[in-house]
Amino acid sequence: MRYSKQRETVYQTLKSMCSHPDASQIYQLVREKIPNVSLGTVYRNLGELCQAGLVHRVSVENSAERFDARTDQHAHFVCHGCGCVSDVSLEDITVQHGLDGVSHCKVVLYGTCDQCRNKK
Amino acid sequence: MRYSKQRETVYQTLKSMCSHPDASQIYQLVREKIPNVSLGTVYRNLGELCQAGLVHRVSVENSAERFDARTDQHAHFVCHGCGCVSDVSLEDITVQHGLDGVSHCKVVLYGTCDQCRNKK
DNA sequence: AAATAAGTAGGAAAAATTACTAATTATTGT
DNA sequence: ACAATAATTAGTAATTTTTCCTACTTATTT
């Protein structure tokens, strides 16, 4: 993967935020630095950054795919009211304080299923 | 919410599956019972069933929104190879066997954030 | 500086989801 | 059983989200 101003700007923009924006929100912000950037470029670079492990996808109900440049293990909190998504450290989940408003939680594990493992 | 054959069929169809289908997959199956059902009806009923708490959304990377009629607490496993989504009991997560293929996990908490709570 | 291969803008296309409207249907009271 | 009602639907259009394509541009290598 070679350098490009567009990818660098997408990455730095995302890194500077903690709101887990979706592609079109990132696009709006990148346009301020590179006015003629295209939405397709933003999507492509987000995908490549994900593949490189520099960015993670944040899949949340009733929302376009969101992105996160923080790659250490952490959970997300989604507000029923405004839909905002914020970070929660895994330690906080096991402790009781600071999570008063939580109504339910979802856990998704990613890996390779038995069938796919046996194919190789 | 009053009875309709369409909603009942959507619900029973989903309940009979453990593959966490998306709206268009459910649509295909419901069509076998109600040939002229419309995709919009499937979407609307899935939304209403979610609101009623009978169905849950399953948001997963690189996939349309999926649905699940199993409403007890459980986690999901997503295969990197084929993309299939299967159920995992929360007990199994804390134990070590049966989760060999897991590469990473995501936790999403849902609730009301401080700002939204203070507004009321 | 020339070659080359990856990356881009711009727009078209596809996929996913929501919204609209006239017709249909379940429910409620008679 | 029947008429009034309000919810629901089919069908379609529109919107949103995401991917794909192509000729042009740019970073990198030699």
CA separation for the pair A92, B40 (Å, rounded): 40
With contacts defined as CB-CB under 8 Å, which chain A residues touch B107? 75-76, 88, 90, 93, 105-108
- Residue A66 CA and nucleotide C5 C1' are separated, in Å, by 31
Per-residue pLDDT tens over the stretch A28-52? 999 999 999 999 999 999 999 999 9
Question: Which residues are bridge partners to A104 per DSSP?
Answer: B110
Give the position of tokens 């499937």: B42
Q: Do the Cβ atoms of A68 and A20 come closer than 8 Å?
A: yes
List pLDDT tens digits, range A81-91: 999 999 998 88
Cβ–Cβ below 8 Å for B108 and A110: no
Return the domain boundaries, chain B: 5-119
For domain B5-119, say whether CATH 1.10.10.10 is its number.
yes
Q: What is the mean pLDDT of each run of 10 residues along chain B (120 residues)?
A: 97 97 98 98 98 98 98 94 92 64 90 86
Helices (H), A59-100: 90-94
Beta bridge partners of B110: A78, A104
What is the rounded CA–CA span in Å between residue A118 and residue A112? 10
Interface with B, mutate which of A56, A70, A104, A107 (most B CBs under 10 A)? A107
Rounded CA-CA distance A102/B24 in Å is 31
Chain D bases having any atom below 7 Å from a protein CB? 7-13, 16-21, 26-28
Confidence (pTM): 0.93
- 8 A C-beta contact, residue B70 and residue B60: no
CB contact under 8 A, A61 and B60: no
Collapsing DSSP to helix, strand or coil, A47 comes out as: helix
State whether the beta carbon of A12 lies below 7 angstroms from any atom of strand C. no
Distance CA A20, CA A43 (A): 15
**C-alpha to C-alpha distance for A50 and A43, rounded to whole angstroms:** 11
Q: Is the CB of B87 under 7 A from strand C?
A: no
Q: Are B54 and B34 in contact (CB under 8 A)?
A: no
